[in-house]
Structure 1
Amino acid sequence: MTRSTVRVDAVLVQAVIAGALSFAHLHDLAAAAGQDGWKAWAYPVSVDLLLVAAWRRLRSGGTKAAARCWFVVALTASLGANIATAGLLDLGAVPAWLRILVAGWPAVAFLGGTLLVHGSPQPQAAPVPEENPTVQDKAPTPAAAPQLPAATPESALPRIAPVPPALVAHARKVADDHRARTGTPIDTSTLRARLGVPLPLAEAIAAQLA
């Protein structure tokens, strides 16, 4: 028999003895607090299961705040029973507050176990890599513009309506004012800007002013 086997066996025996003593203390305290029969035996099982569940949650990773909290609660219940049955408490006259704690323990253990089981971190699914498209979407071919009949030279020339005489007279005043200020005849672009008329009409007016 190797040393490692002896060491493991010794630890296991020690754990069994400690667990049995703690189990008995919890049973005695529950029985003294008025939980007789099978109920007194169920209390140590409840405390030990909550302790184990909290320890497993601590070892599993993830959020450990709740696991630490319920581990401390279960450890306090177990340690408190061990201390209470060590002669510091008269088991024949258990105080009312301790009876209330023992009677309320099942609800506390049920809440802690439920939160530890259903609050355990769920494994996250691995993200699915996006597939690179092998063929790029082709841009839609624009629809062909309708073919218009070829314009004849005569139809291509813009048709200009006759220039009103009043507009010609006003344009002449604008041209004279421009010549007086600049000393040069007014060009078509400036005339168009001053009159605010389209370019073909401005060219017709400039032709009449020439």
Structure 2
Amino acid sequence: MRAHLARVDAVLVQALIAAALSFAHLHDIASAAGQDGWKAWAYPISVDLLLVAAWRRLRSGDAKAAGWCWFVVALTASLGANVATAGLLDMNQVPAWLRILVAGWPAVAFLGGTLLAHSARPTAPGTDTELDVEAIEATEGQEDAPELAPGPTQPAFEVQPERPTVPVPTALVDHARKVAAEHHTRTGKPIDTPTLRARLGVPAPMAEAIAAQL
């Protein structure tokens, strides 16, 4: 346990040192390019936030192309600032192209952050939102109860078995109401049980139980 904590502490210390150095290099480049005061401190924060947002998108598994694109952009900005401060660039005589890049970075970072935060995630066709899979699987296989076997003497009338009570999650009922409202707005007619079942992808007993609560 102590060895594990020691490894974690070493990784954290190393990450903090690397982040502080990169932060300082980005600040120096922004300051040399004419961004003084609080603006010079905002540039490294902007670059690091875009890098983290792109990495989170890559870890989530959605829109990996966009994630890789903005990850490379942010990494290039960070790595370029670190290399430029290694004596390869005269900090007192910054070229015009670097001033243009630094001045245009806020627009690039805003565009990248917006696209990463608001890009639509793929949904299954025929559904509006992701349903509670566990709730649906819990009711899978619940069909009508079998008819009672006749005894030695036939009763005067046949007793119909009661339909089993199907538990319906509250979240699924709320989602069904949204689906029914959207169907009514689009067609002008109330949604029927077969259509509701097809839209929700649930068994027939659950669809009837949900329709009874709408």
TM-score class, shorter-chain normalisation, is: 0.5 to 0.7
- Within 5 Å, give how 1:198-209 maps onto structure 2: none
State the alpha-carbon separation in 1 of the partners of residues 31 and 86 from structure 2.
Answer: 15
Match of 1:106 in 2: 106
Shift of 1:128: 3.1
Q: Secondary structure of the residue that 1:91 maps to in structure 2?
A: coil
Structure 1: state its 5+ residue gaps: 135-210
> What's the CA shift string for 1:155-196, capped at 9, x where partnerless?
xxxxxxxxxxxxxxxxxxxxxxxxxxxxxxxxxxxxxxxxxx
- Within 5 Å, give how 1:67-146 maps onto structure 2: 67-119=67-119, 121=121, 124-126=129-131, 127-131=200-204
Shift of 1:106: 0.1
Paired residue type of 1:89: L
Paired residue type of 1:125: E
> What's the CA shift string for 1:17-53, capped at 9, x where partnerless?
0000000000000000000000000000000000000
Match of 2:31 in 1: 31
Structure 2: state its 5+ residue gaps: 124-128, 132-199, 209-214
For the Cα contact (< 8 Å) 1:47–1:109, is it kept in 2?
Answer: yes
Match of 1:165 in 2: none
- Within 5 Å, give how 1:174-189 maps onto structure 2: none
Paired residue type of 1:93: Q
Give identity over the alignment, percent.
74
For the Cα contact (< 8 Å) 1:57–1:120, is it kept in 2?
Answer: no
Shift of 1:122: 6.5
Shift of 1:129: 1.2
Larger Rg: 1
Paired residue type of 2:80: G
State the alpha-carbon separation in 2 of the partners of residues 39 and 60 from structure 1.
Answer: 32
TM-score (norm 2): 0.60
Shift of 1:61: 1.0
Paired residue type of 1:40: A
**What is the aligned residue count?**
134
Q: Secondary structure of the residue that 2:204 maps to in structure 1?
A: coil
**CA gap 1:53/1:91 in 2 versus in 1, 3 angstroms:** same
Determine if the alignment matches structure 1 residue 46 to structure 2 residue 51: no
**CA gap 1:71/1:120 in 2 versus in 1, 3 angstroms:** farther
